[in-house]
Structure 1
Amino acid sequence: MGSSKSKNKAKKLQKNQSVQIDKQLSKEKEKLSLDLSILLLGTGESGKTTFIKQASILYKGGFNELDKQLYPKTIRRNAITYMKELISAAQILELDLPEEIEQAFFQFRRFNLFQNSDQQSHIFDDIERVSQDDYEPTDKDILFCRIPTTGINFLTFEHKSRNWKVIDVGGQRSERRKWIHTFDNVNFLIYVVAINEFDQALFEEHTQNRMQESLEFFSEMVNNQYFKDKNCILLFNKMDLFKAKIQKVDLNVCFPEYNGGKNYENALSFIQKTFLSVAQNSNRTITPLYVCATETKEMQDLFEQVFDIILKHLN
């Protein structure tokens, strides 16, 4: 009799333990389903790091005091690098220094001879403030600070009842292929294109067009065995610079087959179609979006659009 009661008690205890284990597994499964990972891709200078910085401002409370203590040295180093690049380009163009530099710097028909960026204008406009002994960088200064991504960087945050992880990997040639196989389980890809760079050359190889390099890298990534089934957002960045430049420089300097003239709509349509045409898997979705990543309000609207697109495809 006592033995029977003992057995029943043991069975009841075992059942309760099983129920608790099932509940715990269910919670873990639910928690896992709330975690979403995004792999951020693109060539050097495309704006991936700015994307990460904007996400930090909008969803992590911005840059902390330690960040602001570390950045002044890097920002000043950027300024010196930009000055060297500008002087080097001026010497190539055989300009008299300094009178002709500013004029040539903003003449788009010679723009491709400068390894310039939108970061340069921001620093040069505020060079006196940046050079002060008590200089403290603003969020915008940090946004415009150029630090090439090396290795792998992560940003995690909570939004829309989800845990998001954005993974940023080095875009320079030397950084590629180190990490491809590592991220075959990501939920979504975002590929960033600096659309204004159609007449500029790489830092690593001065004879290679930046947009052609970006197109080749995009083709390599979206058709890679690890990513060929992943949905993707094709993010065209630096739209403001592109709109200004296309009025001065014909897109056929990058794509000889283009015959749409110095027309914003024609050039944008051609670039978009060219990128989309290299994706071989027609069953997945590649969504083009457009932004100027240095504008925080614009980026906030873009992020919400990105989150909605990703969640829609996962449901």
Structure 2
Amino acid sequence: MADFLPSRSVLSVFFPNCLLTSGEAEQLRKSREIDKCINRDKTYVKRLVKILLLGAGESGKSTFLKQMRIIHGQDFDQKAKEDFRATIFSNVIKGIRVLVDAREKLHISWGNPSNQRHGDTMMAFDTRSAMAHGHGMVEPKVFQHYLPSIRALWADQGIQSAYDRRREFQLGESVKYFLDNLEKLGQSDYLPSQQDILLARKPTKGIHEYNFEIKNVPFKMVDVGGQRSERRRWFECFDSVTSILFLVSSSEYDQVSDGGRQTNRLSESSTSSRPIVNNRVFSNVSIILFLTRRTPGEKVKQYRFKDISPEFSVTHQPVERPGLLVECFRKKRREQQQKPLYHHFTTAINTENIRLVFRDVKDTILHDNLKQLMLQ
């Protein structure tokens, strides 16, 4: 009987690497490495907690993202602080220009008529040319040039009277904080503190992500611009969302929005929440309402819901009743929506407060996510 000689194909079953050329062996190694990467990525995606930050403009989304960066160990380096410094200078110049313009439109007299020239100086500020090289930010030498006029204007009683009527026009919440600290901002070696950075206001354009881990669980937080022109981008981020944090600035209930000068900010937040809480895509997604306040304010006791907007005229209860504020957002949901709408009250610039609240939010998200994985 002739000796049996197995074919190459048969041998390759039992000794897959023996009969390969060096080129084929290298291809096989690369293929296996790719398979490992794919499996790793699949495991990562399955474990990934993707949190979408939504809300109207100036609701505190970017501030919340800054807090996550501070809390989870990635502090701001020298370059980041210099960028925020330029943003703060921009906030101050924009804020004082808004106040000068509001003083005139509200027919408020100057405290000191000689400050008209400082007002003219600020209104002549060319935002496009002065900020062009800083990508919408003001450089230190530019700020130093305008600082004497800003200082004189903020000390004027007419500008202070305009500020007291800020609910009648759009003004950033942190403008007063920075104007009260002009001496610090004017120092040649000024770099923003952590609180300064948290209060710096730069409108979010496009989509920003921040990745971090908590006890080996990967988190991806996605911040989308809240201005009306940016909201079309919200739906681009809906894929594989684990949870939505919908942020509302509850301290801005007596102010108008930037996108529509006659639109109440709280009313706009309430309206923009409707398509989110009723979207079928999110039927199994945790939706958590964050009612943020930058700092406690006396004005809370001066208003009732009926003063905010016709939308809230159903109740004459004080705005300081937080349960009623949550109820206004719950009413935006259709009756068939059974999943609970979680809520938390926070102070946006208080890092320790945000740390404690996010710990509870994380537990809620992970608990709900685990239930969904078990049902799959």
The TM-score bracket by the shorter chain reads 0.7 to 0.9
Equivalents in 1 of 2:319, 2:58: separation in Å? 24
Structure 2: segments with no counterpart, 5+ residues: 18-28, 111-155, 371-376
List alignment gaps of at least 5 residues for structure 1.
none
- What's the counterpart of residue 245 of structure 1? 299
TM (norm. structure 2) is 0.73
Post-superposition shift, 1:58?
Answer: 1.1
Q: Cα–Cα, structure 1 residues 263 and 34, in superposed 2: closer, same or farther, change >3 Å?
A: closer
User: Per the alignment, in what secondary structure is the counterpart of residue 74 of structure 1?
Assistant: helix
Classify 1:23/1:134 alpha carbon distance in 2 versus 1 (closer, same or farther; 3 Å): closer
Query: 1: CA distance between counterparts of 2:259 and 2:38?
Result: 50
What one-letter code is carried by the residue in structure 1 that aligns with 2:250? I
Q: Deviations over 1:230-259 (max 9, x none)?
A: 220000010744x63221222211222221
State the superposition RMSD in angstroms.
2.8
Counterpart of 2:261 in structure 1 is 206
Answer yes or no: is 1:68 the counterpart of 2:77: no
Match of residue 78, structure 1, among 74, 91, 107? 91
Give the aligned partner of residue 10 of structure 1: 13
Correspondence for 2:212 among 149, 154, 157: 157
**C-alpha distance in 1, partners of 2:105/2:345?**
34
- State which of 265, 274, 278 in structure 1 corresponds to 2:332: 278
Paired residues for 1:89-100 under 5 Å: 89-97=102-110, 98-100=156-158
Residue 99 of structure 2 contacts residue 162 of structure 2 at CA under 8 Å; is this kept in 1? Answer: no
In the TM superposition, residue 103 of structure 1 has moved relative to its aligned partner by: 5.5
Aligned to 2:323: 269
| Number of the residue aligned with 1:136 | 191
Equivalent residue number for residue 53 of structure 2: 40
**Paired amino acid for 2:224:** V
Q: CA deviation at 1:84?
A: 1.4
Distance in structure 2 (CA, Å) of the matches to 1:92 and 1:275: 34
Cα distance change, pair 286–160 in 1 and its aligned pair in 2 (3 A): farther
Which residue of 2 is the match for residue 178 of structure 1?
A: 233
Greater CA radius of gyration, 1 or 2? 2
Greater shift in the superposed pair: 268-277 or 250-259: 250-259
**Paired letter, 1:37:** K
Rounded to whole Å, the distance in 1 between the matches of 2:258 and 2:37 is 52
Kept in 2: contact 1:234–1:287 (CA 8 A)? yes
Letter in 2 for 1:250: R
Are the structure 2 counterparts of residues 167 and 23 from structure 1 closer, same or farther at C-alpha, using a change threshold of 3 Å? closer
Structure 2 Cα separation of the partners of residues 229 and 9 of structure 1: 48
Secondary structure, counterpart of 1:122 in structure 2: helix
